[in-house]
Amino acid sequence: MTQKTVLWWGRFGPDYSRNRVAIALFKELGWKVEIFLVRWCCALGDVEFALRGPKGCKPDLVWVPVARQRDVAAACRWAHRRGIPVMFDPMISAWDKKVLEQMKWSADEARAKRLLAYETRLFNRVDRVLCDTSCHADFFHEHMGVPREKLGVLFTGTDEAVFKPAEDDPPHDPKAPLRILYHGVYLPLHGMEVIVEAARRTQNLNIHWDFLGWGARKAATEEQAKGITNITFLDKVPYVEVPRVIRTADIVLGVFGTTEKASRVIGNKVYEAMACARPVINEFCTGYPPEAKDCPAITFIPPGDPQALVDAVTPWLDRREELYALRKTARDFFERHLSMEVIRKQLADNLKALGL
């Protein structure tokens, strides 16, 4: 059987977690991966490809990666002229981000309407749109009119060569503070203000809250946390060191924001924490595998509710042995429902939908 080739197209970061996972999955499925990094002008990427694209590249599929809406039109022009299908992995909608998440624009503004119309054209131009959850598939169908048959789910996953349990992972000292970790990029959907307020309400308890990350809202979060004695903002660490920090925690936090997008995602931090054998607390998203509701290593709470977060954390102060046992439960759930093996099957199903 001739080896199939996928051409990764656009101005993107090959080391970004989602791209690393997807590239690894293609290779596991026996595909050859060619990469074309657009350098000059995304809108004229097909012209640039003719001048400096991989020589002799005859792909079976063109893949436009995360958040690269600007690369879609050129990729489609180049691929469709040659009868090659295009798969787009947007992860987010720029209109959703501007209007519904960041609320920088009103949906009634002309520029918001233009952006929605632009994305609608792009999303309908490709042959398959991948969604990190079924909730996002519903969103792309309802807001951008993408036909259901063009939509497929591909969980985010994580790099399992990096995020994994420690070979030696003893229980933490039961007399030490219960350690709760937030790690991420301080996005509105994460609800950092909820976490800070929960920390404020537990200052008289043996609980410590660590924050690891960066982003535009970090300064505002640090300002909100001034005077709270049980919060530490950790120094940034290299990507490969994040699992070590995760394993210093007893519980890892997901997302708690009240934006619409927060209710449609399974955060990267959830995959990473459970891959490292740590239980998580998160707001509920219908995109989770159905078995998540019955998994004791995942506690779902309402969005935007700091007291619900306090109530989810404090019982573990007197149940440290049970909490330690949940490490294995978390990893087992990850392997069955969120791992590369699961996502590889999802990718194979999406390829099959295109006849590949």
Digit-coded pLDDT (tens) for 208-223:
999 999 888 899 999 9
Cα(187)–Cα(216) distance, rounded to whole angstroms? Answer: 8
Cα(254)–Cα(236) distance, rounded to whole angstroms? Answer: 19
Q: What is the mean pLDDT of residues 319-341?
A: 95
Cα(331)–Cα(275) distance, rounded to whole angstroms? Answer: 6
Cα(203)–Cα(63) distance, rounded to whole angstroms? Answer: 49
Cα(195)–Cα(210) distance, rounded to whole angstroms? Answer: 10
Query: Which pLDDT score is estimated for 230?
Result: 96
| CA angle (105 as vertex; 102, 106 as ends), nearest 5 | 115
Cα(117)–Cα(197) distance, rounded to whole angstroms? Answer: 39
Banded model confidence at residue 185, pLDDT cuts 50, 70, 90: confident
Digit-coded pLDDT (tens) for 156-172:
999 899 999 998 889 89
Banded model confidence at residue 347, pLDDT cuts 50, 70, 90: very high
- What's the mean per-residue pLDDT of the chain? 93
Q: What percent of the chain has pLDDT over 90?
A: 78
Digit-coded pLDDT (tens) for 248-273:
999 999 999 888 877 888 989 999 99
Q: State the residue for tokens 């009103």.
A: 106
Cα(91)–Cα(151) distance, rounded to whole angstroms? Answer: 12
> Residue 195: what residue type?
I
Q: What is the mean pLDDT of residues 39-54?
A: 90
| CA angle (313 as vertex; 302, 317 as ends), nearest 5 | 160
Task: Kindly report which listed range (103-107, 315-319, 335-339) carries the lowest average pLDDT score.
Answer: 103-107
Query: Which pLDDT score is estimated for 216?
Result: 82
Banded model confidence at residue 285, pLDDT cuts 50, 70, 90: confident
The pTM of the full predicted model, rounded to 2 decimals, is 0.91
* Closest among 127, 88, 83 to 9, alpha carbons compared: 88
Query: Which pLDDT score is estimated for 300?
Result: 96
Digit-coded pLDDT (tens) for 105-123:
999 999 999 999 999 999 9
* Closest among 197, 179, 181 to 323, alpha carbons compared: 179
- The per-type count for the chain, helices as H runs and strands as E runs, is 13, 12
Task: Answer yes or no: is pLDDT of 1 > 80.
Answer: no
* Closest among 312, 348, 19 to 156, alpha carbons compared: 19
Banded model confidence at residue 31, pLDDT cuts 50, 70, 90: very high
Q: Are 4 and 61 in contact (CB under 8 A)?
A: yes
What b/e string do you get for 271-288 counting C-beta neighbours within 10 Å, with b at 16 or more? bbbbbbbbbbbbbebebb
